[in-house]
């Protein structure tokens, strides 16, 4: 019996060894990213800055951007895309336009200025129209189209830069601009809360105070999410509750507009929480993505998973999902609501574009 067991164990070991060898043979070796130091413009110092905190997938994006920017700088002109309806208004042009060849920093500063103007606007025009009008005001009508193409090609390229990638997402309708605006408001509010706790106005908080502010500002975040933010803010297992933190540094940006890990973590958590929320909505509806869903069913499911939803927010979610103006949404008791139907996948995709966030816990789930 022991011999049989021993032989079986040897056989399993040999099998695992063979499988491991096959995996090692076929798997891609871990890239030696240090090789990039000597070929990236700016040398080791700049590569270390670009690579900081990034995983292999993100580093591939960075490297592609470095290659792409070289090719972009070689282009003197861009071909116009024409006037078809499918072409965004800010790119409708026949002929060729000049590549203005701004630096990356120039593009980032221009986008920041565009956001400042956009947020100050009282009468909101469509974002794509605003963008072209902004460029006309900045550079004059004769040069606006060249700048539109130049900026567009740059922000399409730089996926790893949050200023560019976020602007691109809003410009191309992948996100509603409310997503960007709400995130900025959240960051501003969080800094305000920290400043209020800093009674001595020294720019310092203890780790315990940081934890308290995070829990009060984000009452629905789970403990592990608060912990992630603490770690992104500089907390580590050997930290004491009394350790001091320069909290203003959490909100600093580098020269390319990139946020520090703390704000990046906030953003990533928001995206994850939105995914979880929409997944919970799908589960509550109990439908396959290809199936149809009525407006009353979505309303009921939203109120079940998020009972604290106020009517205004609920209606904004329904308006987004069914692409109906809020003023045209039927009241709950109206019979015709059953006639408003959409494919579930379409509804979820539309909600994914919007600023969707939990307003409160489910009744049966106490907040940790």
> What are the pLDDT digits (tens) for 317-350?
999 999 999 988 887 766 566 778 999 999 999 9
pLDDT value at residue 51: 74
DSSP letter for 292, please.
Answer: E
* Angle of the 177-197 helix axis to the 162-171 helix axis, nearest 10: 140
pLDDT tops 90 at residue 53: no
CA Rg value for the chain: 26
**Total Cβ atoms within 10 A of residue 167:** 24
> What are the pLDDT digits (tens) for 312-325?
999 999 999 999 99
Nearest to 151 by CA among 183, 184, 186, 112: 112
DSSP letter for 289, please.
Answer: T
DSSP letter for 15, please.
Answer: H
Chain mean pLDDT for the chain: 87
Q: Look at 59 and 295; give whichever has higher pLDDT.
A: 295
Alpha carbon 37 to chain centroid distance? Answer: 28
pLDDT tops 70 at residue 75: yes
Rounded mean pLDDT of 45-73? 76
> What are the pLDDT digits (tens) for 248-283?
999 999 888 889 999 999 999 999 999 999 999 999
Q: Which two tokens stand for residue 106?
A: 């120039």
330-357 burial, b at 16+ Cβ within 10 Å, e below that, comes to: beeeeeebeebebebeebbebbbbbbbe
pLDDT value at residue 70: 78
Q: Read off the pLDDT band of 11 (50, 70, 90).
A: low
Rounded mean pLDDT of 15-24? 53
Q: Read off the pLDDT band of 30 (50, 70, 90).
A: low
Task: Give strand pairing partners of 98.
Answer: 77
pLDDT value at residue 3: 38
203 contacts 194 by C-beta, under 8 angstroms: no
pLDDT value at residue 6: 44
In degrees to the nearest 10, what's the CA dihedral of 118, 119, 123, 126?
Answer: 40
pLDDT tops 90 at residue 73: no
Alpha carbons 288 and 169: distance in angstroms, whole number: 27
H-type alpha helices, 140-222 = 141-157, 162-171, 177-197, 207-217
DSSP letter for 108, please.
Answer: H
Q: Read off the pLDDT band of 17 (50, 70, 90).
A: low
Where along the chain do its domains lie? 57-174, 178-267, 286-353
Claim: this prediction has a pTM higher than 0.85:
no
Tokens 């606007």 found at: 121
């Amino acid at each position: 019996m022991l011999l049989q067991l021993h032989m079986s164990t040897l056989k399993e070991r040999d099998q695992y060894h063979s499988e491991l060898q096959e995996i090692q043979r076929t798997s891609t070796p871990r890239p030696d990213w240090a090789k990039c130091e000597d070929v990236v413009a700016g040398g080791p110092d700049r590569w270390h800055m670009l690579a900081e905190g990034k995983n292999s997938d993100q580093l591939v994006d960075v490297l592609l951007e470095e290659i792409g920017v070289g090719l972009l700088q070689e282009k003197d002109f861009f071909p116009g895309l024409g006037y078809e309806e499918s072409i965004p208004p800010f790119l409708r042009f026949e002929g060729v336009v000049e590549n203005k060849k701004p630096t990356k920093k120039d593009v980032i500063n221009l986008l920041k200025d565009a956001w400042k103007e956009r947020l100050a606007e009282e009468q909101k025009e469509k974002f794509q129209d605003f963008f072209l009008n902004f460029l006309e005001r900045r550079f004059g009508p004769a040069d606006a189209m060249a700048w539109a193409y130049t900026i567009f090609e740059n922000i399409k390229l730089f996926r790893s830069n949050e200023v560019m990638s976020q602007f691109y997402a809003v410009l191309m309708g992948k996100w509603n601009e409310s997503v960007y605006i709400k995130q900025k408001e959240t960051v501003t509010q969080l800094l305000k809360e920290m400043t209020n706790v800093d009674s001595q106005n020294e720019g310092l908080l203890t780790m315990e105070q940081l934890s308290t502010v995070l829990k009060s500002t984000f009452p629905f975040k789970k403990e592990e999410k608060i912990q992630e933010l603490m770690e992104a803010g500089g907390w580590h297992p050997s930290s004491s509750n009394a350790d001091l933190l320069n909290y203003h540094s959490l909100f600093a940006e580098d020269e390319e507009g990139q946020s520090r890990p703390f704000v990046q973590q906030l953003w990533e958590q928001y995206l994850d929480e939105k995914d979880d929320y929409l997944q919970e909505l799908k589960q509550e509806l109990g439908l396959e993505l290809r199936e149809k869903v009525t407006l009353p069913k979505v309303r009921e499911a939203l109120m079940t998973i998020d009972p604290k939803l106020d009517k205004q927010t609920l209606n904004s979610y329904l308006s987004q999902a069914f692409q109906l103006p809020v003023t045209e949404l039927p009241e709950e008791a109206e019979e015709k609501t059953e006639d408003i139907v959409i494919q579930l996948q379409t509804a979820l995709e539309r909600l994914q574009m919007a600023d969707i966030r939990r307003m409160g816990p489910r009744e049966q789930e106490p907040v940790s």
